[in-house]
Amino acid sequence: MNSKHSLTQKVTLASVLVALGIIYGDIGTSPLYALRAVMGNRKIEEILVYGGVSAIFWTLTLQTSIKYIWLTLKADNNGEGGIFSLYALVRRYGKKLVIPAILGATTLLADGIITPPISVASAVEGLGMVKGLENTIVAGNSLTIGIVIVILSLLFFFQRFGTHIIGRSFGPVMLVWFSMLFLLGVHQITYHPEILKALNPYYAYEMLSQYPAGFWLLGSVFLCTTGAEALYSDLGHCGLKNIRISWVFVKISLVVNYLGQAAWMMHQKSDFLDGKNPFYEIVPDWFLVPSIIIATMATVIASQALISGSYTLINEAMNLNFWPRVAVRQPSEMKGQIYIPSVNTVLWFGCVLMILYFRSSEHMEAAYGFSITITMMMTTVLLGYFLYYRLKWQRWQVIGILTLFSIVETSFFIANVAKIKERWMFLFFELGIFIVMYIWYEARKIHNRYTRFAELGQYTHMLQELSEDDSIPKTATHLIYLTKADRRAQIEEKIIKSIFSKKPKRADVYWFLHLNRTNDPYTLSYTVSELIDDKVIKVNINIGFRIQPKTELLFKKIVQDLVQCQELNLHIRPDGSTKYNSEPDFKFIVIEKYLSVENEFSIRDSLLLNSYYHMKQLGISDEKAFGLDKSDVIVEDVPLVYQPAAPIELQRETYENR
């Protein structure tokens, strides 16, 4: 077990507090809008109020407590969670599992764009209840929208500096938030204690079966558990035990607050909400402004969790070959904290568009949740494979679990289908993300299928001769090629051609470096094979899918280790390029590939490969992606001929035949 894993498994008051701050932002702010969405403009009556709270309670129990807290958190990939971590655990058991993995990641990213605006808008709109601001802060007016945009813009702007400083306050803020939820709920329950009967699942059944169009209310009920998937994604930050312990407090606070809101509805005078938010209605007047400030801080934390999760998701997608290479930065020394500028820009732009389009949190409720149901369904598919193949559960147990959650999640999905008309523009965004991931993955498979390998042993004699041939100018003391060949004695044919064709590349030492992406998130180890002592060396670096591949730093550290162990002669000679420099000369050869005009593909392969190379141009270069200094890199453009065109029959004519 690595140190990060063992550290997050420790249970202390501080670690539980950290879990409160990181894990529960999204699901913890749902009381701002979930029950209000269930009620809508409908008449306040017992079957709806009791049924709505009962459905929320049992949704939290089934989806969050049982599926995620108990079952899904078992899918612990060396301390890490999330749909790609789960996929990495089970991908060997089914080739088609890539589809649910991509679809789940796509929908998680897409619907996540609406989480920050709906959360922040719900909090800010509470200012409209403050005396003197009733006519100024109105849901949907320009001032309210402007405040939300400013808050979100500042949040995205500060991502580039890292969140380690403000992150320290997350735990205490969320502790205050959940304590506030609990106390506000308890206060209202004392006015109408009969509301506790709503915990009986019969009330949920009665609402779904007897209330007019009651089944379709599941689309609003689902809002109470939309943060469950993010909860699993943040497993690595807090650890299994800390999440499970803190969930007890979180669930009690959430349920008590929902019950409190329902109790208020049952003893207040009006038959309709008339635009009121029951969350703020149960807040005493003297505490209204502080509650709005606390709510806004909680929604910012919820948004931060989503943003950080999106960075992690795209980073994993790149390392698992689902996404083009884009710039990734590490704004602080905190392990695992990354910043992806392109993702940050897209998320900010999407969030601003959401608030400008929907204008109020109430309108966003009608569009929120559809994609998350798909994410949860895809997680269920992968979870079934994990329980059966990794945990060795009995087949009937796995079928029983899958049947239960399939019924629940399919019901939520059908109820949320009605939201498509409110969120049709999302479909283009989701389709775009899915197409990028699918094309990148499938094109890489085609690319690998047509890659030709050669036995390195056949060329060791020629490499030694070339290295000692003084008539050939020396390219570098150490020449390093990145190779996809994971076998000890294999190398790509294009690398052999790069060394010997046209202008042969002479070096003292030829290195062939293979980066092996492991299913474990934070693996970092290497093996060395010397095919010719101090002349031809194959290095295999095992690197986890959450680690940034700083290849040059890793390689130089390996060389340093070999020198210290006296396993390598650095070839420091007083001749050529090393005459005035005692340091060895490292040159990395990066082979930039492009499609040759000679290729003839099927329509599918042609579309995939051409799209792949167009997308590749939009990403960063290979030297940046692999962490290589530009001054130490030689870039070669090499045409790739996957399937040569059919032989050309060309006849020569003579002038006598004319």
Q: Model confidence over 183-210: pLDDT tens digits?
A: 999 999 999 999 999 999 999 999 999 9
| Residue 574 pLDDT exceeds 50 | no
Q: Bridge partners of 541? A: 515, 526
Percent pLDDT > 70 in the chain is: 91
On whether both 160 and 305 belong to a single domain, the answer is: yes
Q: Which residues contact 246 (CB under 8 A, 6 or more apart)?
A: 16, 19, 20, 23, 24, 238
SS3 521: coil
SS3 507: strand
Which carries the bigger pLDDT value, residue 549 or residue 436? 436
Q: For residues 361 and 33, is the Cβ–Cβ distance under 8 A? A: yes
Q: Model confidence over 137-153: pLDDT tens digits?
A: 777 788 889 999 999 99
On whether both 125 and 174 belong to a single domain, the answer is: yes
Q: What's the confidence (pLDDT) of residue 5?
A: 47
For 115: left if phi > 0, alpha if psi spans -120 to 50, otherwise beta; the answer is alpha
647 part of a folded domain: no
On whether both 393 and 459 belong to a single domain, the answer is: no
306 part of a folded domain: yes
On whether both 562 and 614 belong to a single domain, the answer is: yes
Q: Model confidence over 333-357: pLDDT tens digits?
A: 555 567 889 999 999 998 999 899 8
Range of the domain at 94: 3-444
The angle at the Cα of 566, spanning 561 to 572, to the nearest 5 degrees, equals 90
Q: What's the confidence (pLDDT) of residue 389?
A: 94
Q: What's the confidence (pLDDT) of residue 2?
A: 46
Over residues 395-409, mean pLDDT: 95
On whether both 479 and 353 belong to a single domain, the answer is: no
Domain boundary among 391, 417, 444: 444
Q: For residues 223 and 30, is the Cβ–Cβ distance under 8 A? A: yes
* Crossing angle of the two packed helices 98-112 and 288-319, in degrees rounded to 10: 150
Local confidence band at 7 (pLDDT 50, 70, 90 cut-offs): very low
What's the number of domains the chain is made of? 2
Backbone torsions φ then ψ of 93, nearest 5 degrees: -95, 0
On whether both 515 and 619 belong to a single domain, the answer is: yes
Over residues 427-448, mean pLDDT: 88
Q: Which residue in 560, 525, 556 sits closest to 627, CA to CA? A: 556
Local confidence band at 576 (pLDDT 50, 70, 90 cut-offs): very low
Q: Which residue in 513, 499, 448, 491 sits closest to 469, CA to CA? A: 499
Q: For residues 548 and 338, is the Cβ–Cβ distance under 8 A? A: yes
On whether both 467 and 593 belong to a single domain, the answer is: yes
| Residue 573 pLDDT exceeds 70 | no
Q: Model confidence over 466-491: pLDDT tens digits?
A: 988 888 888 888 899 988 887 777 88
Query: H or E segment at 589?
Result: strand 586-595
Helices (H), 320-423: 341-358, 361-365, 370-385, 395-417
Query: H or E segment at 264?
Result: helix 240-267
Q: Which residues contact 34 (CB under 8 A, 6 or more apart)?
A: 56, 220, 221, 223, 224, 258
Rounded to whole angstroms, the Cα distance separating 84 from 80 reads 10
SS3 460: helix
Q: What's the confidence (pLDDT) of residue 109?
A: 86
| Residue 309 pLDDT exceeds 50 | yes
Least confident of 180-194, 557-571, 640-654: 640-654
Burial of 385 (0-12, 13-18, 19+ CB in 10 A): buried
* Crossing angle of the two packed helices 370-385 and 98-112, in degrees rounded to 10: 150
Which carries the bigger pLDDT value, residue 112 or residue 26? 26
Strands 453-455 and 633-640: unpaired
On whether both 413 and 469 belong to a single domain, the answer is: no
Burial of 642 (0-12, 13-18, 19+ CB in 10 A): middle
Q: What's the confidence (pLDDT) of residue 477?
A: 84
491 part of a folded domain: yes
On whether both 555 and 461 belong to a single domain, the answer is: yes
Rounded to a whole number of angstroms, the CA Rg of the chain reads: 29
Over residues 377-389, mean pLDDT: 95
Q: What's the confidence (pLDDT) of residue 164?
A: 58
Query: What 8-state DSSP symbol labels residue 12?
Result: -
Distances (CA, A) of 136 to 120, 513, 620: 17, 63, 47
Mean pLDDT of the chain: 85
Q: What's the confidence (pLDDT) of residue 609?
A: 82
Q: What is the CATH number of the domain that holds 258?
A: 1.20.1740.10
Q: pTM for the whole thing?
A: 0.84
| Residue 165 pLDDT exceeds 60 | no
On whether both 53 and 111 belong to a single domain, the answer is: yes
Q: Model confidence over 119-131: pLDDT tens digits?
A: 899 888 888 888 8
Q: What's the confidence (pLDDT) of residue 643?
A: 60
User: Tokens 């959650």 sit at which residue?
Assistant: 405
Q: Which residue in 558, 553, 522 sits closest to 539, CA to CA? A: 558
On whether both 478 and 420 belong to a single domain, the answer is: no
SS3 595: strand
Q: What's the confidence (pLDDT) of residue 103?
A: 94
Q: What's the confidence (pLDDT) of residue 452?
A: 82
Q: How would you list the strands of the sheet with 524-532, edge to edge?
A: 524-532, 536-544, 506-518, 474-482, 586-595, 633-640
On whether both 430 and 331 belong to a single domain, the answer is: yes
Q: What's the confidence (pLDDT) of residue 332?
A: 60
